[in-house]
Amino acid sequence: MAIVRPFKGLRPVTEHVKDVASPPYDVLNSAEARKMAEDKPYTFLHVIKPEIDLPVGADLYDDAVYAKGRENLERLIRDQIMVQDDKPCFYLYQQSMGYHNQVGLVCCASIEDYENDVIRKHEHTRRDKENDRIRHVDTLNANTGPVFLTYRANAEMNDLAAKYMERKPLYDFVSEDGIWHTLWSITDEALIKRIENLFAAIPVLYVADGHHRSASGTKVGQRRREANPNHTGDEEYNSFLSVIFPHDQMYIMDYNRVVKDLCGMNEQAFLDRVKNSFDVKPVGYAFAPEHLHEFGMYLGGRWYKLTAKPSSFPQNDPVASLDVAILQNNLLSPILDIGDPRKDKRIDFVGGIRGLDELERRVNEGEAVAFSMFPTSIEQLMAIADAGEVMPPKSTWFEPKLRSGILVHLLD
């Protein structure tokens, strides 16, 4: 069973929600965040990327960074730009991007569920990134960014959400990137109990995006649980901020690759080696794969369609048959000597939201080769999580991204 809890959301006053709401911390680097925050004193980037308010070049892991984040959050509260709801609520959060709509339940997910694998993961976390989020949550005493969870769609929950969304929302605005954001609060205690019972019948949740946020929220809760001799299980630190979407509303885009060099080979030698595991066909246009096990490759000003040979991967292995694994195991590692894509500085990853033009630009400006990918499906993600396996790094790119600052969960 999945435990979901209402909470007293800390959120912007209506007239300032668009001023506060920001992209999540991990889709912008410090320079991009600093530029985006110019002349925007209320943007939540001051809370989740607080180094932008310190001198350029400041150590991102210095105590002063986390202290500045807390100071900035307290300023938003003190100036009544953000206020806390009087009673615990659930919230419905709708995002619309073009023709795509998704509606999630904003709630607190249980650290006990995370510990017991009711909340299932599909990625390893990096210790440095996890520690960064632990310090951020602990210092600010808050979950400032939601974890993106999913579950196998439930018709009753879908119907409940659709009916509730006929009411007037708390917020309804379009962010700078063109995404429409709408939020409703659910305050009725009987309805809150019904939602809790609905999720109690759902056996598992899946981390779609936010492995470091969920891991850090859990570890902060564990530390506080151990340090509290009067622990009851009802404390706010026993859960972390989440938005839970039905699986059939998920939109996963391609997560593409760019490599800086050909590992000492010329283009023809490289192509000859690629042909050992892939059928290679030149195409006269930017190629976005339309099927599993197809890849686009941009090399030397030309696009190629690559199709993985059936003998090049184990087709019944849920991890090794992923396209990101096929490319890694048959090309990136053996041909380009990229053994660990998490650490190798010669490879970079480009979310599909940036388009194929970005791949062409990168190669035309000096990098060696780019690969366009077919998106991983939500069914593949859930199958791997159910099997207790993990995906290769940078396997999924979810859109639209959850905005930060619309709702915050305070830990006391």
Higher-confidence residue of 394 and 293: namely: 293
Report residue 354: phi and psi, to 5°: -85, -15
* Model confidence at 223: pLDDT above 90: yes
The whole-number average pLDDT for the span 92-117 is 97
User: Once rounded to an integer, what is the mean pLDDT over residues 68-78?
Assistant: 98
Residue whose entry in the numeric block shows the structure tokens 């929950």:
157
Mean local confidence (pLDDT), 127-136? 94
Q: Cα separation of 104 and 394, whole Å?
A: 23
Confidence of residue 380 (pLDDT cuts 50, 70, 90): very high
| Sequence-distant contacts of 198-203: CB under 8 A, at least 24 apart | 198/154, 198/156, 198/157, 198/160, 199/1, 199/2, 199/3, 199/4, 199/151, 199/157, 199/244, 200/1, 200/2, 200/3, 201/1, 202/1, 202/2, 202/151, 202/152, 202/154, 203/1, 203/2, 203/118
Span 266-293, mean pLDDT? 97
CATH of 255-374, one of 3.30.43, 3.30.1760, 2.60.20, 3.40.50: 3.30.1760
For 288, which DSSP code?
Answer: -
**Distance (Å, whole) CA 143 – CA 133:** 9
- Answer for the pair 402, 250: CB distance below 8 angstroms, yes or no: no
What is the C-alpha separation between 96 and 103, in angstroms, rounded?
9
Distance CA 87, CA 72 (A): 24
What pLDDT is attached to residue 342?
Answer: 82
Over residues 310-351, the pLDDT tens digits come to 999 998 899 999 999 999 999 999 999 999 898 899 999 999
What's the token pair of residue 117? 């694998």
Tokens of 14: 């209506």
Range list of H helices, 209-322: 211-227, 267-274
Give residue limits of the domains in the chain.
Answer: 4-251+399-410, 255-374
Residues 198-218 have a mean pLDDT of: 96
Lookup result for tokens 């609060």: 185
Place of tokens 């096929």: 326
- What is the percentage of the chain residues whose pLDDT exceeds 90? 94
Q: What is the pLDDT of residue 218?
A: 97
Q: Does the pLDDT at position 141 exceed 90?
A: yes
27 pLDDT tier (thresholds 50, 70, 90): confident
Mean pLDDT of 39-52: 97
Predicted pLDDT at 384: 94
- pLDDT reading at 392 higher than 90: no
Q: Residue 235 and residue 225: Cα distance in Å, rounded?
A: 9
Main-chain phi, psi angles of 5, to 5 degrees:
-125, 140
Can you list the alpha helix ranges (DSSP code H) found in 89-210? 111-115, 127-140, 155-164, 189-200
Which pLDDT score is estimated for 179? 96
